[in-house]
Structure 1
């Protein structure tokens, strides 16, 4: 009876020890996340009154970039761009690191089998004669660190938050890529429009110059008129060269973004006739919504938030280094000096090796690691707050640009119409002999300048729309049923 009581008490003690260890495993020394004091405004200063426009969160990038050729270019970029591929590979790398870190939370099992055969000479053998010894064994071993203070769990949490941050960085790279490809495409369309205008003007000025030269030779025109005509021709020819250079730069940018250097992209680019019709290159209007939506829509803010959580979990890892580390190593198997008797009765073997490690003195390294972890979290918190403030500023800037360029565009459209009308009237008065040719040249110069300003304003407005789409965090959603390389 006494023996049974001792056995029962020993069992209860072991059970209590195991339960205590399991309870301690749930402890964590990671601190609570500090609150972010960044104030979120209730509305944007330049928020448009049109509330019927869709919000970025409700749009896929295909619904925003509706031009079919531009969609094809964007699809190619999402599949082949090297920067986006690197972002995807980085996510895969961080995911593997998380799996490695998370596996440390669970016991590891290893199976090993071995067989040895050895001959001992007579002078080393206990029997005094040469002998052959052999041994075979099969062992299952396990090793596990008791996570009494949450070190392993916080390491896993840190790796998980780094994985989330990597995925957010991938989405941010996608947003930037879509905006950059679309910006280069619209810049190409605008420069093509300006090049077409400059070429038409240069051809017209060339014909007028030839006619003026004949009139000067006959004494029907002055040298001043000829000089003015030559100036207009030279200006338009310089513009032709400038826009040809800008077109090539836009093409180079698109080829790089699509990872197709030297490729022919003409099938995906607007033509000269289409570039003269800005209505075919429009983008849909967007409603910015509430500023608080940026916290969930912007991938870079999500990335900074996950990096803050990872830095906070790292403090728990650094704090756990001050406490003992307990690891358990156990193995069980069978061993025999004959392979045929490996699984016979009485051949079983086992071992159990608990190990405890307690830091005593390491020249302040443990304390320095804790200070480093706390400083990293402070840096991550500042980065997170700066990301939020930067996001609000970018949206406000793009809204201000959009409103300003929209008003400027209306004024320049009126300027272009009035300049063109003045040019027509001057041409009619010159044909009727009421005005001099210098007045006609001045009217043509004014219309040409107004047309250039209007084309530039149209591009600026499109770029502001693209900037607002990017600043609001759009660009990474997909239409239902569509897939990309990611």
Structure 2
């Protein structure tokens, strides 16, 4: 006879301990489908990997640091990623609870009337029943690992969601910095365009005066006017680009931000540009998107174990222990104990191919996650390789473009001197002004490319999670 609920718990615990069989296949991670070395690139002087460099150390501009900090606190996409983690954690905790039996306390009272025609005494009979006890309801004895496989799949999905949140943080840090630099570049180009417009307007006034006194042709005047209007178009375009860059930055930060401080330009931004690339195999541990793909792979293997277990019997246990009495005052009296023990066996017989199809579906999904895992590695390899190749050329490109600008300044000075001395026409001066403006704008764009490339190297190697 069952004398206490401790025995019921002992039976459930023993059954759980016997459930040692697992049908989940062993996880086989494919070899990284990339080369063992990154393509040839410029050697880095620093020995610190990107994952060890905090974003505050990488981005030294105080204004940018404040924007990134605000973005990490307010960005809605990052907030959604954090809530997805909470959701995945709750789902995992729900699934994990199925590994152990659920014990419920029960209490009920009932009254029934039996008509006289059915009672032994021939008179109507009123019966009262009071019950109090503990019960285990439909606890599955996990002999074939189905519940544990579900738990493993839920855990892997939760961990993948955590890694996805880290991916979102890295992306947010880098995109905020890029938007900040884009606004700086647009502001710097706008200043150049406004200065060029003012200079060309003065040149147009001089050309008009010369035309009025017959010292120059209508062609010179119209060309000067064309340059003025071209500069005006550039000013309007850059005003729009700066406003749009500011709006993009506000969206990333998730809160209103003030205008950029005057005098803050791209040349004042100092980023670490010599981060070592390491080996492609390092990406497997440094990049959270690859780690997330690996967790999804683990979840797919666990789901195969769930599908395999569906071919085998499922054994569940319902049990209870308590006291019962027809009188409330005698509910806890001696001899009022009651118990029940109801094991249930469910054996799949005819499911018309449902279980087999579910297993095939789980295996196909496993193959899809393998492909996704390999593609994630390949994408990460390409991002790093592209960033490293660009890093090897952009430094030289900035220097070459700076020399182009210096040469155009000298050309404009010589053209102006020749024009004053009557050696050349105003067309040479106007052409030199146009080329100088183009060289200055291109220099700003090239500096922006160099800075964004440094951010790409930092992000693609897994940097942006640490603060300091």
- TM-score bucket (shorter structure): over 0.9
Whether 2:306 is the aligned partner of 1:312: answer no
Whether 2:294 is the aligned partner of 1:302: answer no
Identify if the C-alpha distance between structure 1 residues 246 and 102 changes in structure 2 by more than 3 Å, giving closer, same or farther. Answer: same
Deviation at 1:410, TM superposition (A): 1.4
Any conservation in 1 of the 2:42–2:391 contact (CA below 8 Å)? no
Deviation at 1:245, TM superposition (A): 1.1
Q: Kindly tell me the number of residue pairs found equivalent between the two proteins.
A: 456
Identify if the C-alpha distance between structure 1 residues 258 and 125 changes in structure 2 by more than 3 Å, giving closer, same or farther. Answer: farther
Identify if the C-alpha distance between structure 1 residues 339 and 18 changes in structure 2 by more than 3 Å, giving closer, same or farther. Answer: closer
Whether 2:315 is the aligned partner of 1:326: answer yes
**Deviating runs (4+, > 6 A) in structure 1?**
17-20
- Distance in 2 (alpha carbons) for counterparts of 1:113 and 1:121: 27
Other-structure match for 2:258:
266
- Distance in 1 (alpha carbons) for counterparts of 2:45 and 2:37: 13
More divergent stretch after superposition (418-427 vs 442-451): 418-427
Other-structure match for 1:484:
none
Any conservation in 1 of the 2:51–2:464 contact (CA below 8 Å)? no
Which of 143, 151, 171 lines up with 2:146 in the alignment?
151
- Distance in 2 (alpha carbons) for counterparts of 1:222 and 1:414: 34
Query: Quick one: higher RCO (CA 8 Å, sep 6+), 1 or 2?
Result: 2
Deviation track 1:131-171 (CA, whole Å, cap 9, x = no partner) reads: 54322110200142111111111110000000010001111
Deviation track 1:402-430 (CA, whole Å, cap 9, x = no partner) reads: 22322221110110111112222333343
Whether 2:271 is the aligned partner of 1:283: answer yes
Any conservation in 2 of the 1:294–1:472 contact (CA below 8 Å)? yes
- Distance in 1 (alpha carbons) for counterparts of 2:434 and 2:325: 104
More divergent stretch after superposition (232-241 vs 121-130): 121-130
Any conservation in 2 of the 1:412–1:450 contact (CA below 8 Å)? yes
- Distance in 1 (alpha carbons) for counterparts of 2:191 and 2:115: 99
Aligned counterparts, 1:38-437, within 5 A: 38-52=32-46, 54-118=48-112, 126-143=120-137, 144-260=139-255, 263=256, 265-267=257-259, 269-271=260-262, 273-275=263-265, 278-285=266-273, 286-437=275-426
Any conservation in 2 of the 1:53–1:287 contact (CA below 8 Å)? yes
Three-state SS of the structure 1 residue aligned to 2:227 is helix
Deviation track 1:247-298 (CA, whole Å, cap 9, x = no partner) reads: 11111211222234xx3x225x343x222xx321232122222221111111
- Distance in 2 (alpha carbons) for counterparts of 1:197 and 1:46: 37
In the superposition, the TM-score normalised over structure 2's length comes to 0.93
- Distance in 1 (alpha carbons) for counterparts of 2:168 and 2:59: 17
- What is the Cα-based RMSD across aligned positions, in Å? 2.0
Identify if the C-alpha distance between structure 1 residues 21 and 120 changes in structure 2 by more than 3 Å, giving closer, same or farther. Answer: closer
Unaligned runs of 5+ in 2: 1-10
Deviation at 1:462, TM superposition (A): 1.4
Deviation at 1:79, TM superposition (A): 1.2
Unaligned runs of 5+ in 1: 1-16, 480-486
Three-state SS of the structure 2 residue aligned to 1:323 is coil
Any conservation in 1 of the 2:33–2:374 contact (CA below 8 Å)? no
In the superposition, the TM-score normalised over structure 1's length comes to 0.89
Any conservation in 1 of the 2:41–2:392 contact (CA below 8 Å)? no
Identify if the C-alpha distance between structure 1 residues 19 and 133 changes in structure 2 by more than 3 Å, giving closer, same or farther. Answer: closer
Which of 446, 462, 465 lines up with 1:473 in the alignment?
462
- Distance in 1 (alpha carbons) for counterparts of 2:371 and 2:29: 12
- Distance in 2 (alpha carbons) for counterparts of 1:316 and 1:40: 30
- Distance in 2 (alpha carbons) for counterparts of 1:421 and 1:252: 38
Three-state SS of the structure 2 residue aligned to 1:136 is strand
Deviation track 1:3-56 (CA, whole Å, cap 9, x = no partner) reads: xxxxxxxxxxxxxx9999556412211111224133453332233222325321
